[in-house]
Amino acid sequence: MEEIQSQSDNYRSSSSSASSPASRVPSSNFFYLRKPGSLRQPISFEDSPEWEDTDADVRVEEGGDSINAATAPVSPSLSKLNSGSLPSPPMPEGAAVTRKTAGASVVWKDLAVTIKGKRKYSDKIVKSSNGYALPGTMTVIMGPAKSGKSTLLRAIAGRLHPSAKMYGEVIINGAKTRLLYGSYGFVDRETTLIGSLTVREYLYYSALLQLPGFFCQKKSVVEEAIQAMSLGDYANKLIGGHCYMKGLARGERRRVSIARELVMRPRILFIDEPLYHLDSVSALLMMVTLKKLASTGCTLIFTIYQSSTEVFGLFDRICLLSNGNTLFFGETLACLQHFSNAGFPCPIMQSPSDHFLRAINTDFDRIIAMCKNWQDDNGDFSSVNMDTAVAIRTLEATYKSSADAAAVETMMLRLTEKEGPLLKSKGKASNATRIAVLTWRSLLIMSREWKYYWLRLILYMILTLCIGTVFSGLGHSLSSVVKRVAAIFVFVSFTSLLSIAGVPALLKEVKIYASEESNQHSGALVFLFGQLLSSIPFLFLISISSSLVFYFLIGLRDGFSLLMYFVLNFFMCLFVNEGLLLAVTSFWQNIFWSILTLVTIHVVMMLSAGYLRIRNELPRPMWKYPLSYIAFHTYSIQGLLENEYLGTNFAVGQVRTISGLQALHSAYDISQSSNSKWENLLVLFLMAIGYRILVFVLLHFHVRKNVSLHRIWQCRKSTT
């Protein structure tokens, strides 16, 4: 304790602008947005909510387009600090709240989270955290990087990975229950948006995926979400986000990701880092918008790393973490008083959040060591001349024995002694509806973004013209057989290899699926069918345009049925290849490794396709079994050759003739059966189905696991 006291005294004396703890509590003009007569004020420790008052009276009007909900007024009282009170910030002028929602109280008690390390559940991320959140308020979880903020948020929301283990209790409206679908919303730190859609289109498709009922009933929900997040001026603008597609700024994009969850009209909203990568103006606008949202009665819980003074003034309650330990929970002004009482008053010209993080961030010790020589020559380096570990222990010990901790315990007891209304699960859209919505949305995206299929169509046409002109004028003699086989081999192999250009588009689709699946807006089967149905028109367009150019430039046999088989065979080849692309992309979820893997697979398939060396002469281990039977090139090329030479004859000398299939059989081991080309087409179809099944397995298990492991990896960083 002597060490703690000496370090505290040293830090207090180093703050030249700090004269006394009482002077550290800001006056009412410290938070310039907080003015008397505000529309809403946070519930304080003295308030004990009665469920009969806070439960919403929900009446669904005829037609289901709008909901009228009445919420109980929130107590205007606030904890008194230094005999002064501070009202909540007002809403922006002209901001009319048209719909109220019934929030829900959230209490977490003795909450701890561990993840698997070298020993089973050896890494403790969150350590015995207590706190609560009330309807109509904003509760922020703040702390330096690697402090366990996101883990605590996910633990409260019930979204931890199975490899993480949670201890303690989460109580909703006085009952120990899980948050059900539709009763809450969760916004990740990074949400993948669809840049080729407008804000209104994106939210409308999201509403169709999430909500049951008719399409026309979703429009009012979307408009409410747009108004709630102040996106009215951007509703008809493309989201963008690409170098070739200008769109919304980061602040607006972040609000769109939050609006996506609001279409469910959740009673509790969790947001991981709402100010992530936002500048000061966008951050303030974001928090004012969230404050307006909280004024409708919704319970907001979010994490934040750092904030400006103005943004800090909008918070109702703050949970301060450091290395998983709770250093404070309570109202924002009480946190300032807590630091003053512990001997770390906030300097007048410093932002409170900067001061908090400065005192509890262990990384500052390294900065002090790096700047020690500079300090010796130039005086003190600001006020960073104290041991952060000592400050953390001081703050933690002071909080545990403070009246703030006792007030939190009292409030938690009041919130849990009586059960309120249970949160009910909202209905989901049917799988058939989701498949139809995803199909139509994908068709719209593919038609707008040139890199999906339009770029590939252009590249295919250029490549086909090159191959066709190189192999044009072959004739129909026996000597042209080898050249025609070479032309077909090059056509199938190179066009399949060129399809790798679609990897970036498919990778984005997988990321969109992962983002929507995490919030139960989509599923593996739904995404698979939607992507499958939407890709068929574009693949058929590519196949028929490329086939027509190649067919007539090479001068293949005349006949409508022969041409249609060529188109169908090439379409199935592209269909199989698309499944292979999607499977590899789903496995790696990385553009570099996906392209490298696909190039390797295509080269190996080209080598074992039976053209460079016939299949019977290939080395049996690996090359013939199983590679030559796995390569879809083998069946596509054989089918096209059989289609071309079935029923043809070539003169050998003046009296002898041989059939085209006999000529092919002797050189390329092609079957002479008349049904062989249809058997090859059937094999291609079965391979296409097989790759889709593989994609389903990867989406259902591997993609979901990778997303969760990425979150666990971020949590694990807090212990390093």
pLDDT tens digits, residue range 205-224? 999 998 887 676 788 899 99
45-68 as b/e: b if 16+ CB within 10 A? bebebeeeebbbeeeeeeebeebe
Predicted local confidence at residue 507, as pLDDT: 92
Using DSSP's 3-state secondary structure scheme, residue 302 falls into: strand
- Residue ending a domain, choose from 265, 286, 317: 265
Q: How far is CA 241 from the centre of its chain?
A: 15
Best CA proximity match to 606, nearest among 680, 682, 498: 498
Distance CA 163, CA 185 (A): 23
- Please indicate, yes or no, if residue 531 is contained in any of the structural domains: yes
152 and 204 in a single domain? The answer is no
CA geometry: angle at 613 spanning 611 and 614, to 5°? 80
Mean of per-residue pLDDT scores for the chain: 79
Cis preceding linkage at 76, omega within 30: no
487 and 626 in a single domain? The answer is yes
Compute the average pLDDT of residues 589-610: 93
- Please indicate, yes or no, if residue 636 is contained in any of the structural domains: yes
Distance CA 471, CA 451 (A): 29
Distance CA 25, CA 19 (A): 12
- Containing 259, the helix (H) or strand (E) segment is helix 250-262
419 and 450 in a single domain? The answer is no
Print the domain residue range for 422: 100-183+266-374+386-428
322 and 450 in a single domain? The answer is no
645 and 595 in a single domain? The answer is yes
State the pLDDT confidence band at 701, using cuts at 50, 70 and 90.
confident
Compute the average pLDDT of residues 228-247: 81
Model confidence over 349-406: pLDDT tens digits? 788 888 888 788 766 666 566 565 555 555 554 444 557 778 888 888 889 888 999 9
Predicted local confidence at residue 665, as pLDDT: 75
Model confidence over 41-73: pLDDT tens digits? 433 333 334 443 333 333 333 333 333 333 333
- Residue ending a domain, choose from 224, 240, 265: 265
Pick the most confident of 9-13, 29-33, 265-269, 332-336: 265-269
Predicted local confidence at residue 86, as pLDDT: 33
- Please indicate, yes or no, if residue 303 is contained in any of the structural domains: yes
Residues 6+ apart with CB under 8 A from 350: none
Pairwise pLDDT comparison (480 vs 88), residue with the higher score:
480
Q: Is the pLDDT of residue 523 over 50?
A: yes
Best CA proximity match to 641, nearest among 526, 532, 556: 556
414 and 507 in a single domain? The answer is no
Using DSSP's 3-state secondary structure scheme, residue 186 falls into: strand
Distance CA 701, CA 69 (A): 40
Contact 459, 501 (CB under 8 A): yes
249 and 176 in a single domain? The answer is no
Pairwise pLDDT comparison (336 vs 58), residue with the higher score:
336
E strands present in 105-259: 106-115, 123-133, 138-142, 164-172, 184-187
Beta partners for residue 68, in sequence order: 59
State the pLDDT confidence band at 534, using cuts at 50, 70 and 90.
very high
Q: Is the pLDDT of residue 82 over 70?
A: no
Distance CA 304, CA 270 (A): 12
Compute the average pLDDT of residues 302-330: 90
Distance CA 187, CA 254 (A): 9
Pick the most confident of 69-83, 107-121, 381-395, 695-709: 107-121
Predicted local confidence at residue 63, as pLDDT: 34
- Residue ending a domain, choose from 211, 237, 265: 265
- Please indicate, yes or no, if residue 239 is contained in any of the structural domains: yes
- Please indicate, yes or no, if residue 62 is contained in any of the structural domains: no
- Please indicate, yes or no, if residue 545 is contained in any of the structural domains: yes
State the pLDDT confidence band at 635, using cuts at 50, 70 and 90.
very high
560 and 582 in a single domain? The answer is yes
Q: Specify the CATH number for the domain of residue 405.
A: 3.40.50.300
138 and 216 in a single domain? The answer is no
509 and 438 in a single domain? The answer is yes
Best CA proximity match to 530, nearest among 398, 431, 646: 431
Using DSSP's 3-state secondary structure scheme, residue 402 falls into: coil
Distance CA 142, CA 312 (A): 11
E strands present in 389-465: none
Pairwise pLDDT comparison (567 vs 57), residue with the higher score:
567
209 and 338 in a single domain? The answer is no
546 and 508 in a single domain? The answer is yes
Predicted local confidence at residue 386, as pLDDT: 57
Beta partners for residue 181, in sequence order: 184
Predicted local confidence at residue 706, as pLDDT: 59
**How does DSSP classify residue 175?**
B
Predicted local confidence at residue 576, as pLDDT: 96
The count of structural domains within the chain is 3
- Please indicate, yes or no, if residue 37 is contained in any of the structural domains: no
State the pLDDT confidence band at 130, using cuts at 50, 70 and 90.
very high
- Please indicate, yes or no, if residue 22 is contained in any of the structural domains: no
Q: Is the pLDDT of residue 8 over 90?
A: no
Residue type, 113: V
Pairwise pLDDT comparison (374 vs 443), residue with the higher score:
443
Compute the average pLDDT of residues 407-419: 91
Model confidence over 249-258: pLDDT tens digits? 888 999 999 9
Compute the average pLDDT of residues 286-305: 92
Model confidence over 91-106: pLDDT tens digits? 444 444 445 667 789 9
The answer to which of 84-88, 232-236, 437-441, 600-604 has the lowest mean pLDDT is 84-88
**How does DSSP classify residue 108?**
E
Residues 6+ apart with CB under 8 A from 445: 194, 196, 197, 452
